Amino acid sequence: MESILQRQILFIRYFSFILIDLTVLNLFDEYWAKVEVNSFTISLLAAIVLQLMLQLTFKVEHGIGTHLKKKGRKVLRILSAWAILFVSKFIILWVLEYLFSDKIQFHGAHHGIFAFIVVIMTMVACEALTRYITRNVLGDNKSKTTA
């Protein structure tokens, strides 16, 4: 069996995550009145933007967290992680509104932030489940390749 390159793994991971985000977004659009997406194309573009923004958020949070951990600032690390992850949701929602205006909408209290957070948390949970299955259920203990 030929070995898989790291860039191939990254492509498969992010391609899968975009498809997961697309599926989650469309299921919420179909079954929950608080989420409205005008078309499949908009949901696909939104899934790509969401994945890019989520990965950027995780990179920033991890970078700051690693720096604070090295400095021995455990409490500040936890507070900064919470703040970054919380504030990022408002930024991501603003980016979606800017890019897609009324073509994607989250309804409810505070301009739909609760509905948006539910969708994002579902996406992240589905991605984590996929990572878990890939690594722990389908993974080969002899293999050193991580997905």
Question: Cα(48)–Cα(25) distance, rounded to whole angstroms?
Answer: 11
- For range 18-31, the mean pLDDT: 97
Q: Does residue 17 surpass a pLDDT of 90?
A: yes
Which residues have C-beta within 8 Å of that of residue 10, sequence separation ≥ 6?
none
pTM value is 0.82
Write out the two tokens for 86: 């919380």
Identify which of 2-6, 67-71, 109-113, 125-129 has the greatest average pLDDT. 125-129
d(CA 103, CA 97): 8
pLDDT in tens, 27-53: 999 999 999 999 999 999 999 999 999
Tell me: pLDDT of 143 over 70.
Answer: no
Domain residue limits, the chain:
6-125
* Distance of alpha carbon 126 from alpha carbon 103, whole angstroms: 24
> Measured between alpha carbons, how far is residue 126 from residues 21, 38, 76 in Å?
8, 23, 29
Q: Report the pLDDT value the prediction gives residue 3, as an integer from 0 to 100.
A: 76
Say what percent of the chain tops pLDDT 90.
61
How confident is residue 1, by pLDDT bands cut at 50, 70 and 90?
low
The pLDDT value given to residue 32:
97
pLDDT in the model for residue 138: 86
On whether the CB atoms of residues 147 and 135 are closer than 8 A, the answer is: yes
Which of 108, 92, 115 has its CA nearest to residue 46?
A: 92
